Chain A
């Protein structure tokens, strides 16, 4: 770790300046990049870091005097700064992932025979059982348990959803994350139509 720091005359802004240069250009402290613990500070969501690295030298030079023009900046994150506990960082990151993908994911829910539709925020749920329970509560019905072979056989109701291709699918077949990203609306089918689905 080579530090040639000159504090004779002025404040030596360079030591404290946050710059946008790639590692190796200029005499910035290189060890921050090689410090293995820096990986704990890196943002995990790939889309965010892509955005920041594609920005050309934008306005983030702290001091007007020093206009060091750098090639495409990779934002250096200083280890442990700002001083926020890992626990809080992790909580913020998981909330942020929800926000980045859009403020809530409201889809219409129709139930055969009901006079009006409802809307629910799919982002709020993290698994099929949670979603189904919420639907059962909302509409005062029983959907029952899912099985790969029989679907929702044994119940009068079957939850279905319209996917991106416009097809009506049975809820529960695909992994949750895939479902979330392709579900456009929900329909809870009732009666013989529903039982028919179970036999397919």
Chain B
């Protein structure tokens, strides 16, 4: 405590503050503040006064950085001396859909170098959309002796060699969570790098990888890690192997199966069912790759206490889903493929009254000949049966204004409403009108709405509605929509809590861009691509708002005056120095 006391007396020489301090010792304040987990609460606390700012920064152990370029690692280390856990997000979200050029940036290495010096006791690192190399992973593995948890989501730049380094060196590892990354899968030998003496793993997720791993090594690893509660296997693990793992790990709370489709003898099936029924703590089920309907009954014993079921890699038919859901009364979160069709969604409405989250992914997103999938009818059916719905992600090929109005009337508690009508600019297929009234209904009825993704043919009216009613909106995604600058101006003027705005292929130009001048500093970021913004507009923005980074990504062969892709974000670290040539900072 002594060094911190010294620091504090240097910071507050004011005698008034010292009398205040004696009536409320800093140690107490720090102790109280250390109970605060939410980073937003902590931000608020740090704004109260200098004492509180200092107490907060000394008690913070976890830092969340939503945009890695908004701040530099040196600034973070200076402000927060006792960090044990870091969450970092890098590239703009549209990089998931190939809209961001390669080598854009968001490399973790500079951060790791600073952390190695300032946070030698770092325990957790969670990265989303960052670039991370094998060298960085090796550096991480050897630089932090207490390192416990690594989570990589939607990252790229590394291979299984990097994972081998983690497995080899991190003696205290409790969590290795590799999700949906662009990973170079060079083989499964990394798993065998966990030493035989290693027993601390609680979370292991390697579903992302496709290579075969050494099953014996995995079986021994699972067998000796008695605290393991999350195990997500990859596709190469067979049903028979799954059964052998489960026999040794009945304590699992979350399971991602491997491939669910091989032939089983009757005895093998019975053994699998028995192993699953012993898993009394299991509340989450993933994987089920290529699941064949006939083996799903083996899951029934687990289904009764399931709260999260992710079937988004299992192309089930409606009857198969219906049979399964009849056993899942406690389900709160469900992800499915649209192969289940509207009939399958009717079964959701009938069987899962506690449902809070539904995601329906398209099995054939790029084939426009397909006329299957889900329609507005399925969504409406779910809304009648599941009034507690808060989060929906719905990919479909047709929708009507009336259906959406009914849906939100049944489910007014939506916080996240992401509707993707897959044909860009498609109107209400019955009335042929724009889908303005649909989203109008959403924002008028769902007062708690935080996140909205719109689609279909939309005029400026949609954005008038959003600006007028969506007062809690924080994230908005817009594509192929709007009629003029007025649309975006309504949003910038009306949505006071807006933090992230991403727009593509809309007729919004410089007037729209500049209408948000006052707003961008209170936002995390703005993305505009394939709109009507010009380089001059961007330059003007950059000139007027020096604390914003205004970056333009040019495409080959495009007009010099057009700003093809614009990414604007606030930053206290100044313009970045690691941008590739295709990214211009204005």
Contact = CB atoms under 8 A, between A and B. Distances in A.
A167 to B, nearest CB: 26
A25 interface: no
Interface string B156-193: 00000000000000000000000011100000000000
Contacts of A43: 366-367
B315 A124 contact: no
Contact of A88 (B180, B481, B504): B180
Contact of A82 (B263, B289, B395): B395
Interface stretch (A31-39, A153-161, A178-186, A192-200): A31-39
A9 to B, nearest CB: 10
A81 B368 contact: no
B558 interface: yes
Given A79-B98, A81-B424, A31 B364 contact: no
Contacts of A81: 97, 424, 479
Contact of B559 (A2, A51, A125): A2
B365 A85 contact: no
Contacts of B480: 16
A96 B364 contact: yes
Secondary structure dominating the interface of B: loop
Contact of B483 (A7, A62, A88): A7
Looking at A1, A18, A134, the one whose CB has the most chain B CB atoms below 10 A away is A1
B558 A31 contact: yes
B261 A124 contact: yes
A80 interface: yes
B557 A31 contact: yes
B97 A5 contact: no
A121 B395 CA distance: 32
Given A15-B507, A17-B425, A88-B180, A83 B420 contact: yes
B311 to A, nearest CB: 13
B160 to A, nearest CB: 16
B212 to A, nearest CB: 8
A24 interface: no
Contacts of B259: 124
Given A63-B427, A138-B263, 5 more contacts: A13-B457, A36-B556, A75-B368, A98-B290, A124-B290
29 contacts: A1-B562, A5-B532, A11-B434, A11-B483, A15-B505, A16-B425, A16-B457, A16-B480, A18-B424, A35-B555, A41-B366, A43-B367, A51-B369, A52-B367, A80-B504, A81-B97, A82-B422, A85-B96, A85-B97, A85-B154, A86-B97, A86-B182, A92-B363, A96-B364, A121-B262, A124-B259, A125-B262, A134-B263, A137-B240
Interface of A: 1-3, 5, 7, 11-13, 15-18, 31, 34-37, 40-41, 43, 48, 51-52, 55, 60, 62-64, 75, 77-89, 91-92, 95-96, 98-99, 120-121, 124-125, 130, 134, 137-138
